[in-house]
Structure 1
Amino acid sequence: MATDPRAFVAFIIILFMIFSPDPQPPVIPQRARVEDVLARERYALDVTNATVFGDLDPAHNKWLNISGFRNDTGFAWTYLDEFRTKADRLTRHALGAEYSNKFLGQAVGHSLTIYNNVSGVVHGGWARDDGTLAQQRPDFNISLYAPDGPFGNVPLTSFARNLTAREGNARIRFEEFDRSFLTETRRTLDGQAVHVARFVTAQIGIDSTDGSNESWETQVNGVHFLESGHMIMTTTSEKFSGLYGLPHVTSNPYYYQLAQRIVVRAINETITRQIDGRQRLSSPFTSNTDGTSETPFAIPHCELVLYLQQLPVGPELAEEGHQATVLHLLEDELRFPTGAAVPRPLDMRFSMVAFSPDCGFSIRSKGPPDEPVQGGNHLSGIKIEVEQQQARHHILFYIFVLSGQLWLLTRQMKEASTPSMRSRISFYTISILALGDGFTTMTFALISLFVPGLWVLLIATCFLAFLSVSFFGMRFLMDIWTIQAPERERRERERRAAAAAAAPAPISAVPPAVNTTDPAPAPAPAPAPPTTERPRTIDGGPVPIIVGSDQDEPLEDPAARTTGLPVPVTAATPTTPTSFERTYTFGALYTRFYFLLLATLFLSLNATSWPPTIRRFYFTVLAFLYLSFWIPQIVRNAVRNCRRALRWDFVIGQSLLRLSPFAYFYGYGSNVLFADVDLTDLSVLAGWLWIQCLFLASQEILGPRWFVKSRWVPPAYDYHAVLHEDEEGGNLPVGTEHTPASPVLASKSKEVQDNTKRVFDCAICMQEIEVHVHGPDSAPEGGLAGAGGLLARRAYMLTPCRHIFHAKCLEGWMKFRLQCPICREDLPPM
Structure 2
Amino acid sequence: MNTADTRDAEANNPTNGDPHPRRQRSSIPTFIFISLVLYVLTDRGTEDSVLRNQYQEALESLNHQLGNYSAWLNGTESNFTLPTADTNLTPLVESFMTFGPELVPETSSYYSNLTGFWRGDIRFYNLTDLPVPSDGEVVPEWYHLAKDFVAGANMTNMTEVAERIGPWNWTASNKLAISVGDKLVYPEKATGYANVSQEIAMIHGKIDFSDPDSSDEFRLDFDGVHFVKNGSIYAFAESNSRPSDIRVLPSLIPEQRINETAHVIAAEMTSRIAKLKEKISSGKIDTDSDDDDSPKSGCSFLFFGQVDPTDVPQDLMKELEDEIDEPTGITTVPRPPMKMNGVVVSKNCGMLYVLKDINGLKSERLYRKITSYAGFSTIVNFILLVLFTRQTSRSGSATGLARVSRYPFLAQSLIDAVAFVGHITLGILAEGRPAISVLAPAGLSCILFVQEAQFAVLIGQIQAPEDVETAIRPTPPPAPTTPATTTEPSASNGNDNDDSDETTPLNRPNEPAPPAAVPPTTPPTIPPHQQSFFRFLIHHIRTDPTARLWTIISFFLIVVFRIVVMLSLPLLFIGSLYAFLWIVQIYRAVRRGRTSGLSAEYLIGTTLGRLYFLLYFLACPKNVLDIEPRPWVYLIALIMIIQVIVLLLQDIFGPSFFLPGRVGTIDSYDYHPPMPLPDPESPEQSLGDCAICMDAILVDPSLRDDKKSEGGGILGKHRLWGQGARKTYSLAPCHHLFHTACLERWLAIKNICPQCRRPLPPL
Query: What interval of TM-score do these two structures reach, taking the shorter chain for normalisation?
Result: 0.5 to 0.7
Q: Distance between the aligned counterparts of 1:413 and 1:407, measured in 2? A: 10
> Is residue 2:461 matched to residue 1:482?
yes
Against the structure 1 CA distance between its residues 817 and 598, is the aligned structure 2 distance closer, same or farther, given a 3 Å change threshold? closer
Determine the structure 2 residue equivalent to 1:411.
390
How far is the alpha carbon of 1:29 from its aligned partner? Answer: 8.8
8 Å Cα contact 1:174/1:200 also seen in 2: yes
| Equivalent in 558, 561, 570 of residue 601 of structure 1 | 561
Mapped to 2, the partners of 1:445 and 1:145 lie a distance apart of 43
Sort the Cα spacing of 1:430 and 1:212 in 2 relative to 1 into closer, same or farther, 3 A: closer
Which residue in the other structure is 1:228 paired with?
A: 230
Alpha-carbon offset, residue 486 of structure 1: 2.6
Q: Does residue 127 of structure 2 align to residue 127 of structure 1?
A: no
Question: Distance between the aligned counterparts of 1:158 and 1:581, measured in 2?
Answer: 49
Residue 405 of structure 1: CA displacement? 0.9
Q: Does 1:114 align with 2:110?
A: yes
* CA distance in 2 between partners of 1:477 and 1:541 (Å): 41
Separation in 1, partners of 2:446, 2:602: 20
The alpha-carbon deviation at position 311 of structure 1 amounts to 1.5
Counterpart position of 1:469: 449
> Which whole-Å CA distance do the structure 2 matches of 1:535 and 1:264 have between them?
115
Match of 1:206 among 205, 209, 227: 209
Q: 1:702 to 1:26 in 2, by over 3 A?
A: closer
Out of 263, 266, 289, the residue aligned to residue 265 of structure 2 is 263
Task: Say whether the 8 Å CA contact 2:196–2:260 is kept in structure 1.
Answer: no
1:459 is matched with 439
Q: Which amino acid aligns with 2:761?
A: P
Q: What percentage of residue pairs aligned between the two structures are identical?
A: 21
Q: 2:165 aligns with which of 158, 168, 174?
A: 158
Q: CA deviation at 1:672?
A: 0.9
Distance change >3 Å, CA 339–CA 572, structure 1 → 2: closer
Taking structure 1 as reference, are residues 304 and 419 closer, same or farther at Cα in structure 2, changes over 3 Å only?
same
CA contact under 8 A between 2:403 and 2:589: conserved in structure 1?
yes
Structure 1 residue 402: Cα displacement: 0.5
- In 2, distance between residues paired with 1:44 and 1:573? 75
Alpha-carbon separation, structure 1, partners of 2:472 and 2:613: 42
| 2-structure distance, mates of 1:441, 1:292 | 25
Shift, 1:650, TM fit: 1.5
Q: Which position in structure 2 is the counterpart of 1:7? A: none
Instruction: Give the aligned partner of residue 139 of structure 1.
Output: 154
Return 331-340 or 13-22, whichever deviates more: 13-22
Q: 1:762 to 1:600 in 2, by over 3 A?
A: farther
Query: Which of 393, 401, 404 pairs up with 2:372?
Result: 393
Deviations 1:615-660 (A, max 9, x none): 3x66234422344221222232233222333112212221221121
Match of 2:309 in 1: 312
Q: Given the superposition, is the C-alpha separation of residues 535 and 656 from structure 1 closer, same or farther in structure 2, using an over 3 Å criterion?
A: same
What's the C-alpha RMSD, in Å, of the aligned pairs?
5.4
Amino acid at match of 1:120: G
TM-aligned CA deviation for residue 409 of structure 1: 0.5
C-alpha separation in 1, matches of 2:214 and 2:557: 32
Please state how far the C-alpha of 1:664 moved relative to its aligned partner. 0.7
CA contact (8 A) 2:343 2:354 kept: yes
Q: Distance in 1 between matches of 2:472 and 2:633?
A: 42
1:635 aligns with one of 587, 594, 603: 587
- Tell me what 1:538 maps to: 497
CA-CA distance at 1:349 after TM superposition? 1.5
1:292 to 290, 296, 300: 290
What SS class does the counterpart of residue 114 from structure 1 fall into? Answer: coil
> Residue 233 of structure 2 aligns to a residue in which SS?
strand
Given the superposition, is the C-alpha separation of residues 313 and 111 from structure 1 closer, same or farther in structure 2, using an over 3 Å criterion? closer
Structure 1 counterpart of 2:90, from 74, 81, 85: 81
SS at match of 1:645: coil
Q: Distance in 2 between matches of 1:46 and 1:194?
A: 21
Q: Deviations over 1:415-445 (max 9, x none)?
A: 1021101011111221111121222222222
Q: Please give the alpha-carbon distance, in whole angstroms, between the structure 2 residues aligned to 1:44 and 1:714.
A: 86
Secondary structure of 1:306 counterpart: strand
- 1:692 is matched with which residue: 635, 643, 666? 643
Deviations 1:362-396 (A, max 9, x none): 22223xxxxxxxxxxx0123222221112211111
Q: Which secondary structure does the structure 2 equivalent of 1:135 belong to?
A: helix
Which whole-Å CA distance do the structure 1 matches of 2:282 and 2:234 have between them?
27
Residue 339 of structure 1: SS of its match in structure 2?
Answer: coil
Alignment pair present for 1:681 and 2:632: yes
Secondary structure in 1 aligned to 2:204? strand
Per the alignment, in what secondary structure is the counterpart of residue 199 of structure 2?
Answer: strand
Closer/same/farther in 2, CA of residues 653 and 307 from structure 1, 3 Å limit:
same
CA contact (8 A) 2:462 2:751 kept: no
What corresponds to 1:335 in structure 2? 325
Q: Which residue of 2 aligns with 1:551?
A: none
1:667 is aligned, of 619, 638, 641, to 619
Q: What's the secondary structure of 1:218's corresponding residue?
A: strand
Q: Report the CA distance between 1:701 and its aligned residue.
A: 5.2
- Residues 37 and 335 of structure 1, relative CA distance in 2, 3 Å threshold: closer
Please give the secondary structure, in 1, of the residue aligned with 2:594. coil
Q: Identify unmatched segments of 5+ residues in structure 2.
A: 1-29, 128-141, 190-194, 475-492, 505-513, 527-539, 675-702, 709-721, 735-742, 754-758
TM-score normalized with structure 1 length: 0.61
Cα separation, 2, equivalents of 1:348 and 1:628: 41
Does the CA-based 8 Å contact 2:223-2:244 persist in structure 1? no
Deviations 1:650-696 (A, max 9, x none): 12221221121120122111111222223x21122112323433443
Q: Deviations over 1:502-560 (max 9, x none)?
A: xxxxxxxxxxxxxxxxxxxxxxxxxxxxxxxx994535999689xxxxxxxxxxx9979
Q: Is the 8 A contact 1:425 1:646 kept in 2?
A: yes
For the 8 Å contact 2:52–2:280, the answer to whether it is kept is no
**Equivalent-residue separation in structure 1 for 2:464 and 2:658 (angstroms):** 28
**SS in structure 1 of the partner of residue 247 of structure 2:** coil
Instruction: State the match for 1:219 in structure 2.
Output: 221
Give me the whole-angstrom Cα distance separating, in 2, the residues matched to 1:437 and 1:52.
Answer: 59
Q: Is the 8 A contact 2:224 2:246 kept in 1?
A: yes
Give the 3 Å change call, closer, same or farther, for CA 618–358 of structure 1 in structure 2: farther
- Counterpart Cα distance in 2 of 1:590 and 1:180: 58
- Give the match for residue 762 of structure 2: 829
Alignment check: 8 A CA contact 1:162 1:302 kept? no
User: Residue 169 of structure 1: which of 156, 175, 182 is its match?
Assistant: 175
Q: Distance in 1 between matches of 2:616 and 2:639?
A: 17
Aligned to 2:599: 647
Task: Give the match for residue 350 of structure 1.
Answer: 340
Distance 1:339 1:573, change over 3 A: closer
Residue of structure 1 in register with 2:26 after alignment: none
Instruction: For 1:214 and 1:684, locate their aligned partners in 2 and report how far apart those are by CA, in whole Å.
Output: 27
Task: Tell me the equivalent position of 1:550.
Answer: none
TM-score of the two chains, using structure 2 as the length reference:
0.65
Residue-by-residue CA offset, 1:717-752 (whole Å, 9 max, x unaligned): 07899x9xxxxxxxxxx966789xxxxxxxxxxxxx
The answer as to whether partners of 1:163 and 1:214 remain within 8 angstroms in 2 is: no
Distance 2:247 2:422 in 1: 39
Residue deviations 1:742-774 (CA, integer Å, cap 9, x gap): xxxxxxxxxxxxxxxxx9979999xxxxxxxxx
- Structure 2 counterpart of 1:671, which letter? N
1:379 aligns with 2:394: no
The 1-side partners of 2:58 and 2:472 are apart by: 71
Letter in 1 for 2:449: V
Deviations 1:71-125 (A, max 9, x none): 9xxxxx56413245347x5234xxxxxx2x56xxxxx564842222222222222
Q: Does the C-alpha gap of structure 1 residues 384 and 689 become closer, same or farther in structure 2, counting only changes over 3 Å? A: same
| Residues 640 and 716 in structure 1, CA contact (< 8 A), matched pair in contact too | no
Partner of residue 487, structure 2: none
Aligned CA distance change for structure 1 residues 449 and 477 (closer, same or farther; 3 Å): same
